[in-house]
A and B are shown apart, each in its own frame.
Chain A
Amino acid sequence: MNKNIDNKYVNLYINTLELLQDGAADFVNQARSEAIESFTILGIPDKKVEKYKYTNLKSAFEQDYETYFAPKTVNFQPVDIFKCNVPDLDTYKIYTLNGFYYGDKKLKNKNGIIWGSFAEASRKYPELVRQYYNKYADNANDGVTALNTAFAQDGVFIYFPKNAALEKPIQIINLLINSEDTFIQYRNLFVFDENAQAKVLICDHTLSAAKFLSNCVSEMAVGQLANVELVRMQNEHNRAVHVSSDYVVQQSQSVVNGHTITLHGGLVRNNINVRLEGEHCENHTYGLSLTDKKQHIDNYTFIDHVVPNCRSNELFKSVIDEQSVGVFNGRILVRQDAQKTQAFQQNNNLLLSYEAKMCTKPQLEIYADDVKCTHGATVGQLNEEALFYMRSRGIGEKEARMLQLFGFVYDVLQKLNLEILRERVADLVNKRLRGELTRCEGCDIQC
């Protein structure tokens, strides 16, 4: 395979190392050299790498992009031109602009709960950040993650100390805006200590028509008894390529509800890695993607049951229209010691056109002998009989299709624990299915 693409990024690293290291914490810089070595071996995964079999990242990385290594000054307030399409949501909002924390660098602090710029946090709280940073990201096996670790400069840091709780969600709004095609890498670190209660909402948006390639890695340490609700809403345009890799590690009796809702995006690859390290953990990973045109959305999940008595539950649905492609690869590993594991996985897909395509692959590896694991995958079309039934009650054909589509995605939305968000997301999904979300408010890109 073409090594030139990989060399391009290695050279970029060598040429910009000084810029990358400038002002960064020592442990962040130390991680770089190891990561670039790993990347040199792994490279950008091609289709021969099993877990990237259905998604060609090479061609996305092959193109030349503008990259920059310090926050760009812009002559406008992103907050002004960006109108959140989940408006008036009562949250603590923070922004990143092209991967750099935007706004007041001073970290927010409420009852010991800290959130804000990752770069700033790693300078101000090096001892705290060092404990967790790069401890979970799988640089040794995933080339894209290794590339991120080599280049990471900023992103968002969240810390909930023991017993801390925040009523309102923290909302991270990632904005992409540039006149040139741009390559962006950013790094999030979320630490939820023992018995913390947290809700985090991440929204990804593009605000200009240029092509964007984003490579985002998020590490999340979830302490024992902690309860975390994590919602990711992806709404980027058709020229955007987004690779998002989550590494979630849960300690005993913790509960994590994760939702990945992909409303829009050109090429999206979500890597959701969950490692259940403590007993009696509960993990729920939900996903919904809606695609049309030539979009390609690939959800890869890896649930690693290390210890006994944990429960994991996955539900992923996609609605695939026109020439778009959906991928779901759900790997569950139940290690030899992980007796009494309960692991469930379900993936349902609806194809709306003859050219739409879905690749789904459950992958269960079970080495313990006393476990309960199930998986199921379906690929189907709208039910003609149900359409006729609705039409025979006076509901027009288009509306009947909408009702059925919405009915199909409904149970994923029902899993959102934040009621206010559930309504808003339902509304957005409804708009998306009706084709009314082809452009976001306040944005002039025709997606």
Chain B
Amino acid sequence: MLIYLFVYLIFQINNSTNSQNKHSMLQIKNLQASIEGKEILKGINLDIKAGEIHAIMGPNGSGKSTLASVLAGRERYEVTGGEVIFEGKNLLEMSPEERSRAGIFMSFQYPVEIPGVSNVNFMKAAVNEHRKYNGLEPLSASEFLKMMREKMALVEIDPKLTSRSVNEGFSGGEKKRNEIFQMAMLDPKLAILDETDSGLDIDALRIVANGVNKLKTPENSIIVITHYQRLLDYITPDRVHVLYNGRIIKSAGKELALELEEKGYDWLKSM
């Protein structure tokens, strides 16, 4: 609780000093999306400024993961209306890889296993694509390994996992930590954490949350998508939004998360 208060205080200070003059990082305007003809997002509006942490909560099936997928560029979803501006660019026109290189990162709810592709080769390819995009030379083998080691320590990943295939045979906790490790390697401007807390025990949750907090700077932003308030004990949001039936039905400060934990969602559904 003490830590919680401490983090809370720091954020209050941060907020009061920074939020006024920060530029808008992501603007979502009346976003509508459907899958196989079924409308899931029915007009989402959201404005995320640089340095902010936004939590998106809501019951199952409300559209949280759809929103994350649409932002990351998953082709299964069809955007039927609205727009998304990321750092002044039309995000919806960009391919998933362009979005990543431009600074968007999504931590997957279900990280994918890729047999035969080692974590090292996977990350080397990704990091060098990002560097190329930013006009930088590829890293040398030793520079890259040094970077890997540093970032692995950040999320307490066993270095042995580097030579293993991506996520293959990883436990649930290892997979989620591997997501945050990738986030650390790619240093995104905007990270979308899609149910990163699901299936984690309390220790794994703390490690993952600590990793995220260490990566937080006054410039980068985070969208935390979660069912539960638990993760928000560690990653303190500036704003909490409730997504229900494809729309944001309530937005407030971080105290909303606690209220939701206590009362559930039913009291909001009639709004």
Residues of A within 8 A of B (CB): 383, 385-386, 388-397, 399-400, 403-404, 406-411
Decide if B182 is an interface residue (CB 8 Å cutoff). Answer: yes
What residue of chain B has the Cβ atom nearest to residue A407's Cβ? B116
Check A392 against B116 for contact (C-beta < 8 Å).
no
Q: How far is A393 from B165 in the complex, measured between Cα atoms in Å? A: 16
- Expressed in whole angstroms, the minimum distance between the Cβ of A212 and any Cβ of chain B is 34
Question: Which B residues are CB-close (under 8 A) to A403?
Answer: 114, 117, 121-122, 125
- Expressed in whole angstroms, the minimum distance between the Cβ of A39 and any Cβ of chain B is 44
With most chain B CB atoms within 10 A of its CB, the pick from A391, A392, A403, A406 is A392
Question: Which B residues are CB-close (under 8 A) to A399?
Answer: 125, 129
Q: Which of B97, B108, B112 is in CB contact (< 8 Å) with A397?
A: B97
Check B122 against A393 for contact (C-beta < 8 Å).
yes
Decide if B4 is an interface residue (CB 8 Å cutoff). Answer: no
Question: Which A residues are CB-close (under 8 A) to B59?
Answer: none
Check B129 against A396 for contact (C-beta < 8 Å).
yes
With A394-B126, A394-B129 already in contact, the answer to whether A389 and B111 are too (CB < 8 A) is: yes
Q: How far is A385 from B112 in the complex, measured between Cα atoms in Å? A: 7
List, sorted by A's number, 5 A–B pairs whose CB atoms are closer than 8 Å: A383-B114, A391-B96, A394-B126, A394-B133, A406-B117
What residue of chain A has the Cβ atom nearest to residue B113's Cβ? A386
Check B126 against A393 for contact (C-beta < 8 Å).
yes
Q: Which of B74, B100, B108 is in CB contact (< 8 Å) with A394?
A: B100
With A388-B75, A403-B125 already in contact, the answer to whether A393 and B182 are too (CB < 8 A) is: yes
With A394-B186, A395-B125, A403-B122 already in contact, the answer to whether A388 and B116 are too (CB < 8 A) is: no
What residue of chain A has the Cβ atom nearest to residue B167's Cβ? A389
Instruction: With A386-B113, A392-B72, A394-B129 given, name 11 new contacts (CB 8 A).
Output: A386-B114, A389-B108, A392-B73, A392-B96, A392-B105, A393-B100, A393-B126, A394-B101, A399-B129, A403-B117, A408-B116
Check B73 against A410 for contact (C-beta < 8 Å).
no
Question: Which A residues are CB-close (under 8 A) to B72?
Answer: 392
Q: How far is A385 from B69 in the complex, measured between Cα atoms in Å? A: 12
What residue of chain A has the Cβ atom nearest to residue B98's Cβ? A394
Question: Which B residues are CB-close (under 8 A) to A385?
Answer: 112
Question: Which A residues are CB-close (under 8 A) to B111?
Answer: 389
Decide if B130 is an interface residue (CB 8 Å cutoff). Answer: yes
Check B114 against A404 for contact (C-beta < 8 Å).
yes
Question: Which A residues are CB-close (under 8 A) to B186?
Answer: 393-394
Check A396 against B97 for contact (C-beta < 8 Å).
yes
Check A407 against B100 for contact (C-beta < 8 Å).
no
Q: How far is A407 from B116 in the complex, measured between Cα atoms in Å? A: 4
Interface of A is mostly: helix
Measured as residues with beta carbon below 8 angstroms from the partner, the interface class of chain B is 20 to 34
Q: How far is A33 from B18 in the complex, measured between Cα atoms in Å? A: 95
Check A409 against B106 for contact (C-beta < 8 Å).
no
Q: B81-115 CB contact bits vs A (8 Å, 1 = yes)?
A: 00000000000000111011100011010011111
- Expressed in whole angstroms, the minimum distance between the Cβ of A79 and any Cβ of chain B is 35
- Expressed in whole angstroms, the minimum distance between the Cβ of A367 and any Cβ of chain B is 35
Question: Which B residues are CB-close (under 8 A) to A393?
Answer: 100, 105, 122-123, 126, 182, 186
Q: How far is A429 from B96 in the complex, measured between Cα atoms in Å? A: 28
Question: Which B residues are CB-close (under 8 A) to A394?
Answer: 97, 100-101, 126, 129-130, 133, 186
Check B126 against A388 for contact (C-beta < 8 Å).
no
Check A392 against B100 for contact (C-beta < 8 Å).
yes
Q: Which of B75, B101, B106, B114 is in CB contact (< 8 Å) with A390?
A: B114
Question: Which B residues are CB-close (under 8 A) to A386?
Answer: 112-114
Q: How far is A391 from B112 in the complex, measured between Cα atoms in Å? A: 12
- Expressed in whole angstroms, the minimum distance between the Cβ of B259 and any Cβ of chain A is 33
What residue of chain B has the Cβ atom nearest to residue A409's Cβ? B116
Interface residues of B in 215-245 (CB under 8 A from A): none
Q: How far is A407 from B125 in the complex, measured between Cα atoms in Å? A: 14
- Expressed in whole angstroms, the minimum distance between the Cβ of B126 and any Cβ of chain A is 4
Q: B180-219 CB contact bits vs A (8 Å, 1 = yes)?
A: 0010001000000000000000000000000000000000
Check A410 against B125 for contact (C-beta < 8 Å).
no
Q: How far is A204 from B43 in the complex, measured between Cα atoms in Å? A: 63
With A393-B126, A395-B126, A396-B129 already in contact, the answer to whether A407 and B114 are too (CB < 8 A) is: yes
- Expressed in whole angstroms, the minimum distance between the Cβ of B18 and any Cβ of chain A is 28
With A394-B129, A403-B121, A403-B125 already in contact, the answer to whether A388 and B165 are too (CB < 8 A) is: no
Question: Which A residues are CB-close (under 8 A) to B114?
Answer: 383, 386, 389-390, 403-404, 407
Q: How far is A399 from B182 in the complex, measured between Cα atoms in Å? A: 18
Check A397 against B116 for contact (C-beta < 8 Å).
no
With most chain B CB atoms within 10 A of its CB, the pick from A394, A406, A407 is A394
Check A410 against B116 for contact (C-beta < 8 Å).
yes
Q: How far is A409 from B130 in the complex, measured between Cα atoms in Å? A: 27
What residue of chain A has the Cβ atom nearest to residue B75's Cβ? A388
Q: How far is A406 from B100 in the complex, measured between Cα atoms in Å? A: 23
Question: Which B residues are CB-close (under 8 A) to A388?
Answer: 74-75, 96, 112
- Expressed in whole angstroms, the minimum distance between the Cβ of A102 and any Cβ of chain B is 39
Q: How far is A367 from B124 in the complex, measured between Cα atoms in Å? A: 51
Check A404 against B117 for contact (C-beta < 8 Å).
yes
Q: How far is A411 from B164 in the complex, measured between Cα atoms in Å? A: 12
- Expressed in whole angstroms, the minimum distance between the Cβ of A393 and any Cβ of chain B is 4
What residue of chain A has the Cβ atom nearest to residue B165's Cβ? A407
What residue of chain A has the Cβ atom nearest to residue B133's Cβ? A394
Q: How far is A385 from B114 in the complex, measured between Cα atoms in Å? A: 10
What residue of chain B has the Cβ atom nearest to residue A410's Cβ? B116
Check A390 against B122 for contact (C-beta < 8 Å).
yes
